[in-house]
Structure 1
Amino acid sequence: MGFHTFDVDRADALEDPDRFRYCSGEELLAALGVPEDAAVADLGSGTGFYTDVIAPHVGTCYAVDVQAEMHDLYREKGLPATVEAVTAEVADLPLAADALDAAVSTMTYHEYAGDDALAELARVVRPGGRVVTVDWTAAGPGEAGPPREERFRVGDAAADFEDAGFAVERAETRRETFVLVARR
């Protein structure tokens, strides 16, 4: 896989409301299904496009990104009071064990997928907590998003989550994306 990061020079594209055609805010919140006091991590948060959707509905939302420059842009835009910026790789999160009620990844799974990252999610997501993943599918036509060779099929992602100790509750392929909901 490519395991690239999104070019910070193109960060404005992350604020395009057209992104909601791949995953609406309503769909994301419904898949998370967490209480108002929940602690949630947005993995690969970028400039906070989806973090901003989640933040008003949870106690704490950790905006996790490997690029400090993305956090700088997010701060310029305005960090909501419930958001904490965390500069880290998913495979090495500076969070306590069982610290999260849920984690979400929107169009970023292909950037960090691997055994170490999934083991780390199993460590920081509490038992019963969810990980919601919406990403570009390798089964799609590849008209948007990263090159097809950098993408995963939903079945492969589901198998990887199961190998990491998660139970897959939902796994479906759509035209360009897949949705995967896994519970620890």
Structure 2
Amino acid sequence: MGHHTFDPSKAAKLEDPESRYRFISREGLLWALNLTGNENVADLGSGTGFYTDVVAPHAEHIYGVDIQEAMHDFYRDKGVPENVELLASGIEDLPFASDHLDDAVSTMTYHEFASKEALSELARVLTPGGRLVIGDWSANGTGEAGPPLEERFSVSEAVSALRAAGFDVEFQAERPETFLVVGVCSE
């Protein structure tokens, strides 16, 4: 399942608020993160920075992490907020010290990196009590939008994987095409 990346030649498609907010709203994302304004946050698979731009005004520092430099190029052309730092990296080997991040968010990218190694790495770099917010395409969806169904995970699969990596699941919801999970890094 999963582990593909988004085609950078279609990056402009990721900037459409009507289609993006249909699946994960700005309000829902900020509610799940519950930021105070003092956090170091990583946007995992940040792409064009669409959701990074939503989070940036509410965090001290945000890292836009994407494995594709072409996505960072698109974001740079669009304009990157001052408190955003772009990093080219996979999730399995993040360039952070242990306990460096207060929170991390993955919007529609979990299916691209979901693995024991990636979740273990996130548990390493998040502070105890740090939140991992995952909004992604559901395996129980119709497949009319997003990646093919065979590349998706169900909310129960995501919750099981998070728990196995040492996260306490604070919230989970399945929607018609997507799911939302909030995991808290245990000590």
Q: TM-score range by the shorter chain?
A: over 0.9
Residue correspondence of structure 1 range 118-157 to structure 2 within 5 A: 118-157=119-158
Q: Is the 8 A contact 1:64 1:87 kept in 2?
A: yes
Describe the SS at the equivalent of 1:4: coil
State the partner residue of 1:21: 22
Structure 1 residue 170 corresponds to structure 2 residue 171: yes
Q: Which amino acid aligns with 1:144?
A: A
Q: TM-score, with normalisation over the residues of structure 2?
A: 0.97
Structure 1 runs of 4+ aligned residues shifted over 6 Å read none
TM superposition shift of 1:2? 3.0
TM superposition shift of 1:90? 0.6
Describe the SS at the equivalent of 1:92: coil
Structure 1 residue 7 corresponds to structure 2 residue 14: no
The percent of aligned pairs where both chains have the same amino acid is 57
Q: TM-score, with normalisation over the residues of structure 1?
A: 0.99
TM superposition shift of 1:141? 1.1
CA-atom RMSD, angstroms?
A: 0.6
State the partner residue of 2:84: 83
Q: Which amino acid aligns with 2:14?
A: L
Q: Which amino acid aligns with 1:110?
A: H
Q: Is the 8 A contact 2:2 2:113 kept in 1?
A: no
TM superposition shift of 1:172? 1.2
Aligned counterparts of 2:78 and 2:120: Cα–Cα separation in 1: 32
TM superposition shift of 1:143? 1.1
Aligned counterparts of 1:90 and 1:63: Cα–Cα separation in 2: 12
Residue correspondence of structure 1 range 22-171 to structure 2 within 5 A: 22-171=23-172
Aligned length: 184
Q: Is the 8 A contact 1:34 1:101 kept in 2?
A: no
5+ long unaligned stretches in structure 1: none
Q: Which amino acid aligns with 2:160?
A: A
Aligned counterparts of 1:92 and 1:70: Cα–Cα separation in 2: 19
Q: Which amino acid aligns with 1:14?
A: L
5+ long unaligned stretches in structure 2: none
Aligned counterparts of 2:80 and 2:8: Cα–Cα separation in 1: 18
Aligned counterparts of 1:94 and 1:2: Cα–Cα separation in 2: 23
Describe the SS at the equivalent of 2:50: coil
Q: Which amino acid aligns with 1:178?
A: F
